[in-house]
Amino acid sequence: MSEKLQKVLARAGHGSRREMEAWIAAGRVSIDGEIANLGDRVEADVKVRIDGRAISLKSADEVICRVLAYHKPEGEICSRKDPEGRPTVFQRLPNMRDSRWVAVGRLDINTSGLLLFTSDGELANRLMHPSNEVDREYAVRTFGEVPEAAVHRLRNGVTLEDGPAQFDSIKPAGGEGINQWWHVTLREGRNREVRRLWESQEVQVSRLIRIRYGMVELPKSLPRGGWLELPLDQVNYLRQVAGLEPETRSLLGNDKHSVARSKVKSAKIRRAVRKTKVSGGKAKPSRQRS
């Protein structure tokens, strides 16, 4: 049975469905030597190229949906390449054959914390759609006094330049002196929304860390710049949120050898992170294939 080209490309991990639609519209994709058009459907035996490079098409049964949790440091940008040479969130991730990681949303350069990547562009596309309203939790450090009236307004709604906005919850989380920590949640993913909400009350944000995406929490043992692969139950939680069929396979095992390999991999990640810090913060692409 034929499927839409952008869906097949997204599922294979070449990007989100929206990205694939843009590539097709720009003439970057061909089918059997002819420039593809939006709406084209493909069979398994056609030859598809992206920018002249042949790619392998995979059926839904051949693709294993994988998800990584990445602890993004401040100073990294959520792009594959940067003209200014700044480090990107993709540089530390493990390489994959015939596919690539797709980011689920973005964090701005000055925000750290949990960022998810998946090999399934369709999953990323659906999770990023506003209709899903996945709640996100952030730890926020503010500088200066925060009046109770401002907290009340942030909880009940304010008007930003792109429309009404509010935190679903806002709770104090300790702090010293004029540095106060808060935990806030919201279900939208508008650009810099957390910072802009605080700025609307003339409150300065000095640290911003995403600590949860839906039911997936930032692992406390995961160092900044480190990643780990989510187990099948968490992958299927995300697929359920996105309205997709559950995945039945995983590259992670439950046997003792798999656990040992996982511990070795975690140790390698920590060493790589420390090495990057010592060398001045420039990350190099991971050599590890997975």
Last residue of a domain, one of 41, 62, 83: 62
Domain count, the chain: 3
Mean pLDDT of the chain: 85
Distance CA 14, CA 99 (A): 6
Counting every residue, how long is the chain? 290
Domain annotation covers residue 289:
no
> Which residue carries 């991990």 as its tokens?
13
Q: Give the pLDDT confidence score for residue 125 in this predicted structure.
A: 85
**Residue tagged active-site, from 51, 108, 162, 233:** 108
**Biggest distance spanned by C-alpha atoms of the chain:** 66
CATH code, domain carrying 28:
3.10.290.10
Residue 139 carries which side chain, given as an amino acid letter?
A
User: What count of other Cβ atoms lies within 10 Å of the Cβ of residue 154?
Assistant: 21
CATH code, domain carrying 167:
3.30.2350.10
Domain annotation covers residue 284:
no
**Whether 45 is catalytic:** no
Token output for 160: 């930003």
Distance CA 137, CA 139 (A): 7
The string of pLDDT tens digits covering residues 50-74 is: 999 988 777 667 778 999 999 999 9
Residue 10 carries which side chain, given as an amino acid letter?
A
Distance CA 26, CA 36 (A): 10
Residue 132 carries which side chain, given as an amino acid letter?
N
Q: Give the pLDDT confidence score for residue 80 in this predicted structure.
A: 85
* Cα angle for residues 68, 95, 105 (degrees, 5° grid): 40
The string of pLDDT tens digits covering residues 17-55 is: 888 999 999 999 999 999 999 989 998 788 999 999 988
Same structural domain, 37 and 99: no
Same structural domain, 197 and 225: no
The mean pLDDT value for 153-157 works out to 95
The string of pLDDT tens digits covering residues 240-288 is: 999 999 999 898 864 333 333 444 444 544 554 554 444 444 444 444 4
- Cα–Cα distance list, 276 to 39, 77, 92, 209, 250 (Å): 44, 16, 10, 21, 30
pTM, entire model: 0.77
Last residue of a domain, one of 157, 186, 213: 213
CA torsion 47-13-129-219 (nearest 10°) is 170
Distance CA 209, CA 217 (A): 12
Same structural domain, 146 and 196: yes
Host domain of residue 148: 135-213
Contact predicate 12/98, CB 8 Å:
yes
Contact predicate 217/168, CB 8 Å:
no
